[in-house]
Chain A
Amino acid sequence: MRTYRRLMGFLRPYRAQLWGSLALAWAGMGMTVLIPWLTGKAVNAIKSGNQPDLLPLALAILGAAILRLGLIVVRRVVAGKVSLAVEFDLRQRFYAHLQKLDLGFFDSQQTGQLMSRATVDLQSIRFFLGYGLIFITQNLLTITLAAVVMIVVNPLLALFALIPAPFVVVAATRYNLVSRPAQQEVQQRIGELTAEAEENVSGIRVVKAFAREEFQFQRFQRAVGRVFDQSIYATRLQATFSPLIGLLPQIGIALVLLVGGRQVIDGSLSLGAFVAFSTYVAMLAGPLRSLGMAMGMAQRAVASGNRMFEILDREPAIQSPPGAPDLPPGDGSVELRGVTLRYGDAAPALQGIDLDVEAGKTVALVGPSGAGKTSLVGLVARLYDPSEGSVRVDGADVREIDLGSLRSQIAFVADDSFLFTATVAENIAYAHQEATLEEIEAAARRAQADGFIRTLPDGYETRVGERGLTLSGGQRQRIAIARALLADPRILILDDATSSVDATTETEIKNGLREAMAGRTTLIIAHRLSTISLADEIVVLDGGTLVDRGSHEELMAGCGFYREIAEHGLADSVFIQRDLEEREEMAKL
């Protein structure tokens, strides 16, 4: 009930329109109920041979119909506006809240789950608030009006005519409740089938390599069979309920024929009233059915509302304190004091880390996966807050300064850089949208990206990202470098490539990085020797603790763990991939 009341809160701004559309709906329904009554009158006029009454009655029917047309058109437009406005508000509110939530929240949620809140749940709430409520009141009113008219005209006949009514509502509600999950299960299984198809297309090399075509076909057949079985179940539900719900009002009409017919014969009921009665019973079928549907809608909306509020009620864990000052001026020194970081109940990702990075210096973080490198750089940008200890940038505790001012001074370049579906120019200007094309091109040149961008189909206007042109990892990384350069941050955070790129690209990336690092503090998550060589100092992490730090030579001499990593762990791709020309040129020097 609480969820229900909160959902109704979304309608509050549109109270006036809502009442207006209800009033229009009621008036329209009044007309709908009036028409069979007038028809009945006409039948009586026909029966009594009252020719002169016929024209006025026909005109009255026409008049009522035209009036109803006007009322319904306005009602539909007003209600449609409200429904769309509610949908708009809901989506804005949900999206705005997502924008405020911290990364920790997104790490703990599956994207698919969030997407389903934003699509399926939002849809069922908006259907209920936009249409369901109006349906319920409108149908209740139609049923009440028709019932009242019938009872006034002939209470006994009305009783017989209305016997099936509750059964229709119950059956329709029940159908709505069982058919929805059945349909969703069909969709779910189609999803599984899609995944199966997807795996086979993506993994076709493996299938062919192991000559397992038949086996995979059987797997696919099983998925197809599951879709079939569930579809048939859903079809059977429809095949059972739909005719049943249609049959019930027919029984009402049969009762009217049986009882009403006798009343007409013995003269206690006029023929016109009899015709009107049978029309009413037929007319009630629709509203009764959609009343049931709307009841199901309400139940689903409450369930969806609960899921939706679960997210909307979640307080963002990372926020600027009220009135927080901006990041003080400085050159980007970083200081971690006794930092421990835990995600949920898991073992700490970082433990007791003390680290000072002087402004303008470059520090490489080295260690096996799971050592805590990514967590450490995340703390600097305050993507997470440490469970213990403090993180300071230019002397200020990051929890005490304005979040926007902090993050605008930090830029990330990841090995698998995420680009948005937008043009290359828009992606580069992501954090600095007022940038001119000249500035964008200058940044791209410095990042060694200008060359390949010009060879793209539309140059800087080429759309890239998930729904655009697919770029190679090396190309994405250089665009990300340009993006970071244009943001002109104090602190740069790099995550270098674990996957292999060819020699020329590697050289270009390295040159781009060198350019990007000039004059700022840089933290590098390093996987290869060539990037480590860019650093002033190397920090070795293992299992969330700081093992050692120093220069490459110092660590090779004094740190066994580092030597192990350097000799076996780092991709010595240089061996294979540095092209010969470069070698020869270097030999000349």
Chain B
Amino acid sequence: MNGGIGDVRRLFSSLWQLIRGQDQRGRKVGWMIGLLRPYRGRLILMFVALLLETGAGLAPPYLLGKAIDSGIQTGDVAALDLIVVAFVITSVLYAVSTYAETYLVGWVGTRALQDMRERIFSHLQSMSIGFFTRRSPGVLISRMTNDVEALNQLVTSGMVTIFSSTLTLVGVVVIMLFLDLQLALITFLTFPLLAIASVVFRIVSAGTYRATRERIAAITAHLQETLSGVRVVRSFGQESQHMATMTELNEQNRDVNMKTVYLNASYFPAVELLAAVGTAVILLYGGSQAIDGAIQIGVVVAFVGYLTRFFEPIQELSQLYTTYQQGMAALDKIFDLLDTPPDMVDAPDAIDPGTLRGEIELEGVWFSYAEDEEPTEDAWALRDVDLHVPPGQTLALVGATGAGKSTFAKLVARFYDPQQGIVRVDGHDLRGVQQRALRRQLGIVPQEGFLFSGSVRENIAFGRPEASQEEIEAAIAAVGATEFVAALPDGLDTEVGERGIQLSAGQRQLVAFARALLAEPRILILDEATSNVDVRTEKTIERGLERLLHGRTAIVIAHRLSTIRRAGKIVVLEGGQIAEQGTHDELIAANGPYAKLYGAWSDSTAA
């Protein structure tokens, strides 16, 4: 029951903020209503169905009372039959309009939320790579999934509850007042009791239910972790330790759930008691009135019937609190994302450079991943880099981790813009080139080949879906993957699973190589592309590399001496600066840092 009072205070402060427009809820809700606009027609139909449903739902107690007063009491069988017919018609009408209302609300709400998902997705895709490195992937994914789901509650059941419960409540009050003013006012005495009890219950239980969700999430997380780390648990023989943790979590879960049992055990029976009190009061007071002849007996019976219909909407409305809170929290999070403007959009006058020759030029380039205007001295990943790569040349980048090799490659792909200096391809400043026109002509093979779920074929043709069977097979042959693909259960049509999990790291890398080759890139970037594959795969790729590098500009970041030695130019990076550059023979002759690195390698193989 902790946090009950705090929650009440929070409810009021959020209402106050809503009134004053401080958290821009008005704008956000307005935007959400805008999502519904395309479905106006269905929405109007839904409201019609809702009105019919509410009206038809209110009729039965009245008709029952009428049947007693106008049919049974007067002995008028014809009137009785008529009322029964009306009863059946309203019941059927109720069922039919409920069907229409449920279906339409589900349709419009779900459709609007799917539209919202697509908007978030395309907004995300317009963001730069820098944005993705700064944000946790889990959080971004959750915006499209969990947060949209949380809104679902608000949009579908919340919307219906507000309208149907309010309508029902108003309807019941009006009918009761119309049937008998005095009896109605006495019945309404139960209203404040019920309303207070319900609101307090919802607020207190919202906190408790949150606690139960947290407890069960902790259990699931612990179980998940024990399963992922099962090798460690087994090899250290620590099963009893995990069992003890589980017992503790399990006990916490049981205890916090017990609180919800107590809460429910006090609230729901209390509501039933209140209903019985109401019935007793109506019978006692209304009964006396009926005996005195002030009202008809059917009215008393109708009142008893309306009592429960009067309780339901109050209970439902009180439930809105939780739905509203969760939905709004989700909406705030989604807006936090949608309000972030995309960085690195193409300039309006950006050009399509046409087919590239593949000339790369860096001029006085300074780059830092830090977002500050003035990065600290250590934060520069590249400092004052000048470099020219003529078309068709293979450039090998050498240096320790953190020397700036990958950063160099990322600037050429324009994943980032440098803080100072210019990156040019074929003489065009990249900031004036359409990003997609540039990237379509790049082939990047990263350290870990990332594959998408789908078949091997789809993955290889990722960059050029229109590629023919022959072209795909040629690409596979060129990287030496023919044997491995043929050995797969369904050949090219084998599903690779999420992130390509069904393939080994080496096989994934082969597919990534074929994918890059098939895209017929003008500039090829291999970023430590072979560091994670085993001996045999490595050798196959080596053989294909010749074919891959032929006739195009390439930037190679590699560990293997054989690859580096073959490069037209070797650049040694140290702390973001070019330490030296030249061919293998030139650099060995210069006896600088490269020669020392080479010496170290020769020593260690001899060791």
Contacts and interface: CB of A to CB of B under 8 A. Distances in A.
B145 A42 contact: no
A568 B535 contact: yes
B468 interface: no
Given A213-B436, A271-B68, A408-B237, A46 B291 contact: yes
B125 interface: yes
A84 B254 contact: yes
Contacts, number: 426
B480 interface: no
B283 A39 contact: yes
Given A239-B100, A412-B232, 7 more contacts: A68-B272, A87-B257, A199-B452, A205-B415, A209-B444, A257-B83, A577-B401
A191 to B, nearest CB: 9
B538 A568 contact: yes
A501 to B, nearest CB: 7
B519 A210 contact: yes
Contacts of A66: 273
B238 A35 contact: no
Nearest to A501: B401
Shortest beta-carbon contacts, A-B, top 5: A80-B261, A65-B276, A569-B535, A235-B106, A575-B601
A569 B534 contact: yes
Interface string A499-520: 1111100000000000000000
Interface stretch (B26-34, B35-43, B73-81, B179-187): B73-81
Contacts of B228: 111, 418, 466
A92 interface: yes
A303 interface: no
Contact of A88 (B72, B229, B250): B250
A250 B91 contact: yes
Contacts of A368: 534-536
B477 interface: no
A46 B452 contact: no
Secondary structure dominating the interface of A:
helix
Interface residues of B, number: 148
B266 to A, nearest CB: 7
A57 interface: yes
Contacts of B288: 51, 54
Contacts of A254: 84, 87-88, 91
Interface residues of A, number: 156
A80 B279 contact: no
A348 B145 CA distance: 44
A333 B144 CA distance: 56
Interface stretch (B16-24, B189-197, B216-224, B545-553): B216-224
Given A43-B301, A80-B261, A58 B276 contact: no
22 contacts: A54-B283, A61-B283, A62-B276, A62-B280, A80-B265, A84-B261, A95-B223, A115-B227, A199-B498, A213-B436, A221-B118, A243-B96, A246-B94, A368-B535, A407-B237, A420-B229, A431-B236, A431-B238, A467-B225, A503-B401, A577-B400, A579-B400
A129 to B, nearest CB: 15
Interface string A203-214: 111111111110
Contacts of B607: 529, 533, 552
B554 to A, nearest CB: 15
B91 A251 contact: yes
A569 to B, nearest CB: 3
B399 A576 contact: yes
Interface string B552-582: 0000000111000000000000000000000
B161 interface: no
Interface in B214-250: 219-221, 223-239, 241-243, 246-247, 250
Contacts of B599: 583
B528 interface: yes
Contacts of B9: none
B491 interface: no
A487 B535 CA distance: 34
B277 interface: yes
Nearest to A470: B136
Interface stretch (B322-330, B378-386, B590-598): B590-598
Contacts of A119: 220
Contact of B145 (A54, A72, A190): A190
Contacts of A204: 125, 129, 132
B235 A568 contact: no
Contacts of A503: 400-401
Secondary structure dominating the interface of B:
helix
Contact of B498 (A95, A103, A195, A212): A195
A190 B150 CA distance: 13
A262 B72 CA distance: 7
Contacts of B237: 403-404, 406-408, 431
Nearest to A410: B235
Contacts of B144: 193-194, 197
A527 B399 CA distance: 21
B20 to A, nearest CB: 35
Contacts of A220: 117-118, 121
A330 B71 CA distance: 100
Interface string B252-272: 011001100110111011101
A258 B118 contact: no
Contacts of B68: 271, 274-275
Contact of A466 (B84, B225, B291, B435): B225
A583 to B, nearest CB: 5
A262 B498 CA distance: 69
A30 to B, nearest CB: 14
B463 interface: yes
A95 B222 CA distance: 11
A268 interface: no
Contacts of B145: 190, 193-194, 197
B234 A580 contact: no
Contacts of B519: 210
Interface stretch (A4-12, A142-150, A226-234, A444-452): A226-234
B284 A224 contact: no
Interface stretch (B107-115, B164-172, B199-207, B353-361): B107-115
A71 B443 CA distance: 74
Nearest to B139: A201
Nearest to A217: B122
A29 B559 CA distance: 78
Contacts of B600: 574-575, 578, 583
B98 A246 contact: yes
**Residue in B100, B103, B605 with the greatest tally of chain A CB atoms within 10 Å:** B605
B311 interface: no
Nearest to B452: A199
A485 B581 CA distance: 45
Interface string A293-328: 000000000000000000000000000000000000
A35 B276 contact: yes
A543 B280 CA distance: 85
A131 B437 CA distance: 62
B539 interface: yes
A545 interface: no
A47 B297 contact: yes
Given A194-B141, A239-B99, A62 B230 contact: no
Contacts of B246: 91-92, 95
A118 B253 CA distance: 15
A437 interface: no
B60 interface: yes
Interface string A109-151: 0010011001100000000000000000000000000000000
A480 to B, nearest CB: 9
A193 B110 CA distance: 14
Contact of A244 (B95, B231, B283): B95
Contacts of B111: 228
Contacts of A261: 67, 71-72, 77, 80, 84
A258 B80 contact: yes
A162 interface: no
B475 interface: no
Nearest to A212: B462
